[in-house]
Amino acid sequence: MYLKNALRGTFVVFMLSLLGGLFGYLMRMFLARKLTVAEFGLFYSVITVFVFISYFIDAGMSYSLSRKITELNIKKKNSIINNLVMSVAGIQFIVTIVLGVLIILLNNFLSVHYFHANASYLLFLGVAWILFMPILTSYTGIFFGFQKPTYAIFFETTKSFLLLVFSFIFIFLGYNYLSPAIAYVATNVLLMLLFYLLVKKVYSGFSIFRFKFEKKSTMQILSFGWVVGLSNFIWLIILQIDTLLITYYMGATSVGIYQIAITIAYLLLYITTAVTTILYPLINELHFRKKRTIIIEGMNLVYKYLLIFLIPSVIIIFSFPDILINLLFTSKYLGAVMPLRILAIFTIFCSITLINNVLITSLGKPSRVVKIMLMVAILNFVLNLITIPYFGLLGAACSTLFSFIFATIISSYELKKYIQVHFPLKEWLLLTLMSLAIILEANYLINIIKLSALVKLGVITSIIIVSYLLLLFLFRIVTLFEIKNFVNMFLKR
């Protein structure tokens, strides 16, 4: 039952995530064409800073809150959930006000000495954006806590759609580089109103205005949450330190080019995001119900099939970076070709690390994840500090890749201490050799096929997929029997 629900849930979440990703990519494509490279880079430099601030505001409490809601729901203690949700939101709102005031006071200093551009209006809009985060994170906490991850992903998909629509509207109205920032604020306001009724449907006791401070449970959330929050913040540092240092050393134009590489490469992580979105609440429930055998069986399948689905996309991006960038974002961003190739490989190691960390955290060991990611963060920071001044964007991409190879190794070692999952090393080795062979095949076809870029991409991609499927069955990495079982399980009512 759990595996069937996980398969269905992962499929729905993946499709919603893919749709949200499509809206996000359309927004970036639109902005990349309407703004200059410097304006595009400045906006995402400012957004990166506010993403860091949002992690301070959350402090891991949303993860901890959803975990606590799951526990209380199993124990039939639903009466205190609203008090708990709003107590956490109140603490987050106080932190938001403090950080928002601090940003406003440092507005001119940050514009001159860090962004090296006039970022004042963007910073003010960023403060307005984060004011709504406590309520919105409460919504997602309730969705995950009551085992409704598809609602949470629908929330994110709607957010991406609204950002695209509002960005288009404000660009049309003539707000130029401020348009996406205004869109972020407008989107948060509308999301708060639109999803209130859906939250009430999931948990009828939810109320923003009627609650009392729940001291005991809130302190439990804080004690668990700060560890998860620190882990998430360190994770963010690892993923975003390259952008922060590129902003400082190379300026907004280089950030704009690097963001294109990130945008395309991170598309591959939607598969992993779909899996982790289902895994986190599901493993929490299985852990509380002491069903460790089911966890092990499910994770063994996750480790095998995650890479099977991920690798074809990595091969395509690695083989056609220039065509993809030119088609999606125009030739002015072709400086992202080599960083994109490196970041495509990075997504494989990032995905394994994400799965490892979710499992370790769900087993109640978030402090171990903090220690692992702290080591990775230090390594990544040092590597970026050394490589960016000398090798620019390529150095940033390589630093990220090497850091996550290290992260995969140590998180896998740590996970084995707590649960005996099976890492399919033989299948991973075969997949690696297959990938190298198909990349060579793709390069050969690129040289001999004389067609337009778009047609060439379609033809060679089709050949790559057919070759990949044939090799999967030839080396018995996947069998027809397994596929039949999965299909029957997925369709069975």
Residue of 120 and 493 predicted with greater confidence: 120
Instruction: Say how far apart CA 280 and CA 266 lie, in whole Å.
Output: 20
User: What integer pLDDT is reported at residue 285 of this predicted model?
Assistant: 65
Closest CA to 465 of 308, 326, 360: 308
Q: Are residues 481 and 412 both part of a single domain?
A: no
Give the angle 385-389-391 at the CA atoms, nearest 5°: 105
| The pLDDT of residue 148 is above 80 | no
Q: Are residues 331 and 279 both part of a single domain?
A: yes
Query: Contact, 348 vs 431, CB < 8 A?
Result: no
Q: What percent of the chain has pLDDT over 70?
A: 85
Instruction: Say how far apart CA 271 and CA 313 lie, in whole Å.
Output: 11
Mean pLDDT to the nearest integer, 292-317: 82
| The pLDDT of residue 139 is above 90 | no
Question: What does the buried/exposed string (b/e) look like for 116-152 if buried means 16 or more CB atoms within 10 Å of the residue's CB?
Answer: ebebebbbbbbbbbbbbbbbbbbbbbbbbbbbbbbbb
Residue 338's pLDDT band (boundaries 50, 70, 90)?
very high
Residue that finishes a domain, picked among 406, 423, 440:
423
Residue matched to tokens 């080795």? 429
Q: Are residues 388 and 493 both part of a single domain?
A: no
Return the DSSP state at 450. Answer: -
Q: Are residues 353 and 453 both part of a single domain?
A: no
Q: Are residues 139 and 118 both part of a single domain?
A: yes
Note the pLDDT tens digit of each residue in 34-45. 888 888 888 888
| The pLDDT of residue 13 is above 80 | no
**How many Å from the N-terminal Cα to the C-terminal Cα in the chain?**
10
Q: Are residues 359 and 464 both part of a single domain?
A: no
Instruction: Say how far apart CA 57 and CA 52 lie, in whole Å.
Output: 9
Closest CA to 190 of 146, 139, 150: 139
Note the pLDDT tens digit of each residue in 456-489. 888 888 998 899 989 988 888 887 777 776 666 5
How far CA 218 is from CA of 130, 367, 428, in Å, comes to 22, 19, 43
Residue 224's pLDDT band (boundaries 50, 70, 90)?
low
In the Cβ-directed half-sphere of 35, how many Cα atoms lie within 13 Å? 28
Note the pLDDT tens digit of each residue in 376-424. 889 999 999 999 998 989 999 999 999 999 999 999 888 888 877 788 8
Instruction: Tell me which range, 111-115, 172-176, 211-215, is most confidently predicted by mean pLDDT.
Output: 172-176
User: What integer pLDDT is reported at residue 215 of this predicted model?
Assistant: 66
Q: Which long-range contacts (CB under 8 A, 24 or more apart) does 335-338 make?
A: 335/257, 335/393, 336/257, 336/258, 336/260, 336/261, 336/264, 336/393, 338/393, 338/394, 338/397
Residue that finishes a domain, picked among 403, 423, 443:
423
| The pLDDT of residue 9 is above 70 | no
Largest Cα–Cα distance of the chain, in whole Å? 71
User: What integer pLDDT is reported at residue 211 of this predicted model?
Assistant: 66
Mean pLDDT to the nearest integer, 78-90: 76
Mean pLDDT to the nearest integer, 223-241: 70
Q: Are residues 337 and 465 both part of a single domain?
A: no
Q: Which tokens hold the place of 78?
A: 């639903």
Mean pLDDT to the nearest integer, 361-384: 85
Query: Contact, 236 vs 55, CB < 8 A?
Result: yes
| The pLDDT of residue 249 is above 70 | yes
User: What integer pLDDT is reported at residue 2 of this predicted model?
Assistant: 47
Q: Are residues 417 and 435 both part of a single domain?
A: no
User: What integer pLDDT is reported at residue 3 of this predicted model?
Assistant: 47
Q: Are residues 480 and 386 both part of a single domain?
A: no
| The pLDDT of residue 8 is above 60 | no
Q: Are residues 284 and 222 both part of a single domain?
A: yes
Average pLDDT of every residue of the chain: 82
Minimum mean pLDDT range among 145-149, 342-346, 439-443? 145-149
Instruction: Say how far apart CA 398 and CA 392 lie, in whole Å.
Output: 10
Angle between helices 61-74 and 215-250 (to 10 degrees): 150
Q: Are residues 365 and 297 both part of a single domain?
A: yes
User: What integer pLDDT is reported at residue 79 of this predicted model?
Assistant: 67
Residue that finishes a domain, picked among 372, 393, 423:
423
Residue 167's pLDDT band (boundaries 50, 70, 90)?
very high
User: What integer pLDDT is reported at residue 373 of this predicted model?
Assistant: 84
Residue 12's pLDDT band (boundaries 50, 70, 90)?
low
Query: Contact, 287 vs 364, CB < 8 A?
Result: yes
Q: Are residues 128 and 157 both part of a single domain?
A: yes
Q: How many domains does the chain have?
A: 2
Residue ranges of alpha helices (H) inside 173-202 are 179-194, 196-202
| The pLDDT of residue 163 is above 80 | yes
User: What integer pLDDT is reported at residue 239 of this predicted model?
Assistant: 74
Residue of 200 and 275 predicted with greater confidence: 200
| The pLDDT of residue 120 is above 70 | yes
Q: Which tokens hold the place of 3?
A: 């595996």
Question: What does the buried/exposed string (b/e) look like for 445-472 if buried means 16 or more CB atoms within 10 Å of the residue's CB?
Answer: eeeeeeeeeeebbeebbeebeebbeebb
Residue of 304 and 15 predicted with greater confidence: 304
Query: Residue 435 belongs to what domain range?
Result: 425-493
Residue 197's pLDDT band (boundaries 50, 70, 90)?
confident
User: What integer pLDDT is reported at residue 408 of this predicted model?
Assistant: 92
Instruction: Say how far apart CA 115 and CA 45 lie, in whole Å.
Output: 8
Q: Name the residue type at position 170.
A: F
